[in-house]
């Protein structure tokens, strides 16, 4: 597991408005196929609110695990939602705001989420990304995540 970040400071994601703002920002330029589809019929703010109030409550891990990543001056750069589903510890959601993409912060943020889950002595940690989200797939590989399967999700259009 990677060492703790020397570039970012992590704080609990306990401010709903701040998390919603960051979630909205991360949707700009997203490579997530489901989010991209949702953005064809709703604004980023609406999609973010739907995720925060619709998707995130389905995760059974404690909200105290959620983290916002900040520069040392306090400026937020992204966040991670380590959690659990019915089967495994998971990296449920992770994102970097567009203004801070391209600096490798995803590695620090993923490492923090992984550390939180590993501290729970879980047998495995799962994560998923779309095939087309090559930057995220590479981040998972750099962090030591192995590809253990593939899943096809279909949607009605």
Domains for the chain: give ranges and CATH numbers. 9-142 (3.40.630.30)
3-state DSSP assignment of residue 153: coil
Q: What is the pLDDT of residues 75-102, one digit of tens each?
A: 999 999 999 998 999 999 999 999 999 9
Percent pLDDT > 70 in the chain is 96
Neighbours of 72 (CB within 10 A): 9
pLDDT at site 147: 86
CA distances, 2 to each of 53, 97, 114 (Å): 32, 22, 9
Q: Report the mean per-residue pLDDT for the chain.
A: 92
Residue 60 in contact with residue 84, Cβ under 8 Å? yes
Q: Where are the beta strands (DSSP E) in the chain?
A: 9-12, 67-70, 76-84, 89-96, 125-126
**pTM summary value:** 0.92
Q: Would you say 80 and 112 are in contact if contact means Cβ atoms under 8 Å apart? A: yes
Is residue 157 predicted with pLDDT exceeding 80?
Answer: no
């Amino acid at each position: 597991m990677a060492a703790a970040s020397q570039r970012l400071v992590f704080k609990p994601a306990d401010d709903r408005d701040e998390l919603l703002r960051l979630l909205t920002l991360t949707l700009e330029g997203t490579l997530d196929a489901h989010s991209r589809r949702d953005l064809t019929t709703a604004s980023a703010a609406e999609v973010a609110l739907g995720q925060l109030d619709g998707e995130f409550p389905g995760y059974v891990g404690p909200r105290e695990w959620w983290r916002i990543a900040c520069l040392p001056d306090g400026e937020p750069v992204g966040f991670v939602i380590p959690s659990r589903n019915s089967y495994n510890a998971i990296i449920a959601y992770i994102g970097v705001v567009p203004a801070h993409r391209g600096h490798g912060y995803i590695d620090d943020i993923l490492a923090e989420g992984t550390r939180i889950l590993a501290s729970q002595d879980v047998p495995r940690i799962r994560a998923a990304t779309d095939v087309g989200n090559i930057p995220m797939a590479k981040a998972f590989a750099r962090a030591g995540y192995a590809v253990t399967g593939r899943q096809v999700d279909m949607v009605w259009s």
